[in-house]
Amino acid sequence: MEYSKKNFSEWYNEIVELSELTDKRYPIKGMNVWMPYGYDLMKNIDEIIRRRFKEDDFGEVMFPALISKTMFEVEFEHIKGFEKELFWITKGGRESLEDDLAMRPTSEAAMYPMFRLWIRDHSDLPLRVFQIVQVWRYETKHTRPFMRSRDIHFIECHTAHETYDDAEKQLEIYRNQWNYFTHILCIPYLEVERPEWDKFPGAVYTRAFDTIMPSGRTLQIGTIHQYGQNFAKNYEVKFAREDGESDFVYQTTFGMSERLVAAVISIHGDDIGLIIPPYIAPIQVIIVPIPGKEPGLHEYAQSILTKITEFGIRVKMDDRDSYTPGYKYNYWEMKGVPIRVEIGDREITERTITVKKRTAKGRSKVSIDHIEEMKVFLDDVAQTLRERSLKILEDNLNGLKIQQQESQIVTKILCYRKECADAMETETGLTMMGHIINKGKNGKCEVCGNDGRTSLFSRPY
Amino acid sequence: MEYSKKNFSEWYNEIVELSELTDKRYPIKGMNVWMPYGYDLMKNIDEIIRRRFKEDDFGEVMFPALISKTMFEVEFEHIKGFEKELFWITKGGRESLEDDLAMRPTSEAAMYPMFRLWIRDHSDLPLRVFQIVQVWRYETKHTRPFMRSRDIHFIECHTAHETYDDAEKQLEIYRNQWNYFTHILCIPYLEVERPEWDKFPGAVYTRAFDTIMPSGRTLQIGTIHQYGQNFAKNYEVKFAREDGESDFVYQTTFGMSERLVAAVISIHGDDIGLIIPPYIAPIQVIIVPIPGKEPGLHEYAQSILTKITEFGIRVKMDDRDSYTPGYKYNYWEMKGVPIRVEIGDREITERTITVKKRTAKGRSKVSIDHIEEMKVFLDDVAQTLRERSLKILEDNLNGLKIQQQESQIVTKILCYRKECADAMETETGLTMMGHIINKGKNGKCEVCGNDGRTSLFSRPY
């Protein structure tokens, strides 16, 4: 790497291409190509999310990518919130369309007209669906791969329930899912209740999952929303209760995106390159054979590859003739492979392998009779990533400046009023992100003295 | 089912919704919602394809969904071939775009400008990528779920090679892949060389995989293309040979789509409903417990579910209280689940299960000590589907009218000239689809007497 992570922006822009996650040279602004290494990483994350949602009784659907102007013409703050970000299709072939079509920026306006048809009575509830799709937003801000793009890989869950309480319980399920996902990604987070003026358009309330990037800025990497009956009333999604009474459903959503990749890259990477958390790594173990005097190197390495594969581990051998072992070490470290296995003369005679973790300096010897230990090494790397990243997040919250040149995170106890937030924004030069639910404490507002809670001020991406 | 498969069109329209594969009520013409059962089926097919492509050294990529007008402004027959089918984005937010954007109808124009950047010399070749994405076509013809829609689930492979021969070898690899895919889908096919005037715009030649639907019409469910240097010349995709000489790459593509689902539904289904080939079935085995006098029904059924799961089989238990076993039998037969397991008093006392194949009338008893036999039953169902569907295809080719009221398939020996094809089209009232490669024979043209080959005439979807 030419760049140090201390200059995070440069480091990030360099590493996403150097490690072949993406190619930014696609000729349309804000739209990049997912390269195989990057897309395999994204798909591994998708698959972890997909499996969990299915276990939790979500059906996977895929809605059309387009939403007509007529469908959007519901008089509703939700629609207004997206107005400036829509790509509009006005022509099919050489004809002008009668009803212009927007590319979905999110799927409420696509799904809820169908929910209206699907839901008749209480036996149809809860309804739980998710989809993993592209969404498009005509971003006018500065774009950056995986962080802010115009063609976004998006994961969205939508549910409908009989009562507000049922919807609240669903949010609790989302929270458990999110804990699991971030455990796998080794990413710490703050659960932040967005202030009234910054919640998702149409929601009763929004809880965002913010993480802290090495620049000291925050990145929103997930959101859960309580919609109450707001959407149901606008889209007329009604159901008959057991007593025959008709009511609107209560709804929730949970959204995540390719920003998960941005967080993984940024939080774990170092000056050498990426460090990919073991359970989502496209390659979990790389074997580098070191040519020496002993015969049978290739066969021995191949037998190790087979053994490791038998434990369900994604392993690859780099047996390219034209590169030295040293070059290969650097290359796969830069690509963030969690575990390297070195095999040379000594390993052949000793019937061992030498194991190097991406997160530690030393090496370990493992007997070929204990290849199952590779799983322990993978767990170790994950645990190290979790501890490191949590420490950085907490140091940031405590006002310590670890990675970034200038901290852009401040916490203050604040009440819920906009005037107090405004005053503190002026004072700090940062944006009020909301009350921190999972790590803050209650107290007196530092502006007005009323009841408040620890609040996050930052410069969000 | 209310409809007999003899009236194929009605049967098809009914079954795709009744079995909850899709919902056609989405408010935009030609765009439907993938319901969980349908999308799980499509994803199972995707996964079989994805795994095979990766084994065969293809990298999975994802390109942006949009292609700018500038990128399309290559003076080339390929572009003209799609002109009438493009959805055009002319506005972002409230602004008019400077460069209009088309939604990809296929990805040549998106990918090859990047191939130009990726390929420098022979060491970059062969280049092999695939993507599984949505494409959009402004269809003016009659739309029908999975057969002709405007929002299409699409699987596309693109390769680049040093020589024409290398590209030909790639086509042979596609053929092997296609054989494997259709073996899993239990779908017979004709490999048909499309005539000069009907090949893919820009290709040197096109080989289509056509199958015969129960209506006696043909459905193109896959295509492989030899592009030669046609695209490379237009997109300036050059490489340096080993001797330093610069040349254009030779390219191929392989395309498949959601039409695979259309073929599976149509070819295997019967008057009862769907029959889904075992290896792509979202549910491979359904367990129906039959309440009786013996205690422990639920526990016994649950233990069977666990045992079957251990063999890696996708199994589900229908223990809904509000429906009778008979209702459940019909329901899951309609949904096309390949194997049903019935468990009642007798099975509990005998320590057995009763197995019913969707493709046969009788039932079999299996001891709980031989649950691995479920795999044999799944194989049996697949084999039956293969044999049945191959016989129908061959009967059709032989002029027998098995399922359809009126055959719309005719084979004639024909040469390669358009005037002979025209003459025969007028005589048969059908369309010349091309020479049949895998099942035809050489002979004399039935119009002019020159050298020719068995050709397919049909009414294609």
- pLDDT tens digit string along B273-301? 999 999 999 999 999 999 999 999 999 99
Cβ of B136 within 8 Å of Cβ of A68? The answer is: no
pLDDT of residue A4: 86
* B70 touching A (Cβ < 8 Å): yes
Confidence band (pLDDT; 50, 70, 90) for A408?
Answer: confident
Closest CA to B364 of B375, B356, B374: B356
Interface of B with A in 96-155 (CB under 8 A): 101, 103, 110, 113-114, 117-118, 129, 134, 136, 138, 140, 151, 153
Query: In this structure, what token pair is assigned to residue A88?
Result: 């509009």
Average pLDDT score over residue span B125-147: 96
Among positive and negative, which fits the CA dihedral B53, B59, B60, B63? negative
The reported pLDDT for the residue numbered A2 is: 66
Q: How far is CA A140 from CA B94, B134, B205, in A?
A: 12, 25, 44
Chain B residues touching residue A31 (CB < 8 angstroms) = 64, 66
Burial environment of residue A330 by CB neighbours within 10 A (0 to 12, 13 to 18, 19 or more): middle
CA A459 distance to own-chain centroid: 19
Q: Do A32 and B64 touch (CB under 8 A)?
A: yes
CA-nearest of B162, B353, B133 to B255 is B133
What distance in Å separates the CA atoms of residue B223 and residue B5, rounded to the nearest whole number?
A: 28
Residue A416: predicted pLDDT: 87
pLDDT mean over A282-302? 97
| Fold of the domain built from segment(s) A278-384 | Rossmann fold (3.40.50)
Q: How many angstroms separate the CA atoms of B178 and B56, rounded?
A: 13
pLDDT recorded at residue A426 = 94
In chain A, the percentage of residues whose pLDDT exceeds 70 is: 98
Average pLDDT value over all residues in chain A: 95
Instruction: Give the nearest chain A residue to B68 (CA atoms).
Output: A28
How confident is residue B406, by pLDDT bands cut at 50, 70 and 90? low
pLDDT at A173 over 60: yes
Prediction pTM value = 0.96
B405-414 in b/e form (b: 16+ CB < 10 A) is: eebbbbbbbb
CA distance B12 to A111: 25
Average pLDDT over residues A89-103: 95
Mean pLDDT of B373-399: 94
User: How far is the C-alpha of A437 from the C-alpha of A421, rounded, in Å?
Assistant: 17
pLDDT at A403 over 60: no
Once rounded to an integer, what is the mean pLDDT over residues A439-444? 92
Q: What is the pLDDT of residues A254-269, one digit of tens each?
A: 999 999 999 999 999 9
Nearest CA in chain A to B152: A64
State the average pLDDT over residues A190-201: 94
> Tens digit of pLDDT for each residue in B92-131?
998 999 999 999 999 999 999 999 999 999 999 999 999 9
Pick B8-268's CATH classification: 3.30.930.10, 2.60.40.10, 3.20.20.70, 1.10.3720.10. 3.30.930.10
Computed from CA positions of residues B346, B352, B357, B361, in that sequence, does the dihedral angle turn out positive or negative?
Answer: negative
B88 with A84: Cβ contact below 8 A: no
pLDDT at B407 over 70: no
CA distance A165 to A179: 21
**Phi, psi values for residue A193, rounded to 5°:** -85, 110
Question: Can you give the pLDDT at residue B397?
Answer: 86
pLDDT range class, residue A72, cuts 50, 70, 90: confident
Say how many Å lie between the first and final Cα of chain B, rounded.
24
Closest to A101 (Cβ–Cβ): which among B28, B94, B140?
A: B28
From A138's Cα to the closest Cα of chain B, the distance in A is 6
- What is the ipTM metric for this complex? 0.95
pLDDT at residue B134 tops 60: yes
Among A68-77, A262-271, B364-373, the minimum mean pLDDT is found in A68-77
Are residues A61 and A131 in contact, defined by beta-carbon separation less than 8 angstroms? yes
The confidence band for B6, taking pLDDT boundaries of 50, 70 and 90, is: confident
Are residues A178 and A209 in contact, defined by beta-carbon separation less than 8 angstroms? yes
Backbone phi, psi, residue B378, to 5°: -65, -45
Which residues of chain A lie closer than 8 angstroms to B28, CB-CB?
64, 66-68, 101
Q: B 145-164 residues with CB below 8 A of A?
A: 151, 153
- pLDDT 10s digits, B197-222: 999 989 999 999 999 999 889 999 99
What strands, in cross-sheet order, belong to the sheet with A285-289? A315-317, A285-289, A339-343, A352-357, A363-367
Position B405 pLDDT exceeds 60: no
**Amino acid at position B89, single letter:** I
CA distance B339 to B360: 10
Q: Over 70: is that where the pLDDT of B317 sits?
A: yes
The pLDDT of A219-223, averaged and rounded, is: 98
A259-268 vs A164-185: helix axis angle to the nearest 10?
40
- Across A17-42, average pLDDT: 97
User: Exposed/middle/buried for B142, CB within 10 Å: 0-12, 13-18, 19+?
Assistant: exposed
Mean pLDDT, range A84-109, rounded to an integer: 95
Q: How confident is the model at residue A3, as a pLDDT? A: 74
Does B444 have pLDDT greater than 60?
A: yes
Contact B35 A59 (CB under 8 A): yes
Beta bridge partners of B443: B452
- Residue A328 pLDDT class (50, 70, 90 cuts): very high
Q: Given the DSSP bridges, would you call strands A285-289 and A339-343 parallel, antiparallel or unpaired?
A: parallel
**Predicted local distance difference test score (pLDDT) of residue A399:** 75
DSSP state of B430: S
A272 contacts A334 by C-beta, under 8 angstroms:
yes
The domains of chain A are located at 8-268, 278-384, 409-458
Which tokens in the block code for residue A422?
């405004």
User: A23 and B117 in contact by Cβ < 8 A?
Assistant: yes
Considering only CB atoms, which chain B residues are within 8 Å of A63? Answer: 26, 33-34
Is the pLDDT at B161 greater than 80, yes or no? yes
Q: What is the pLDDT of residue B385?
A: 98
Give the mean pLDDT of B402-408.
60
Has residue B404 got a pLDDT over 80?
no
Rounded average pLDDT over A235-241: 97
Mean pLDDT of chain B: 95
The band of A358, judged by pLDDT with boundaries at 50, 70 and 90, is very high
pLDDT at position A439, please? Answer: 87
Structure tokens at A432: 């009020």
Instruction: Evaluate if residue A81 carries a pLDDT over 90.
Output: no
Helix, coil or strand: residue B218? strand
- The span from the CA of A150 to the CA of A161, in Å, is 32
B62 → chain A, closest CA residue? A34
Superfamily of B283-379 according to CATH: Anticodon-binding domain (3.40.50.800)
The pLDDT > 90 percentage for chain A reads 89
Q: Considering only A134-138, A216-220, B1-5, B395-399, which range has the smallest mean pLDDT?
A: B1-5
Indicate the pLDDT class of residue B2, thresholds 50, 70 and 90. Answer: low
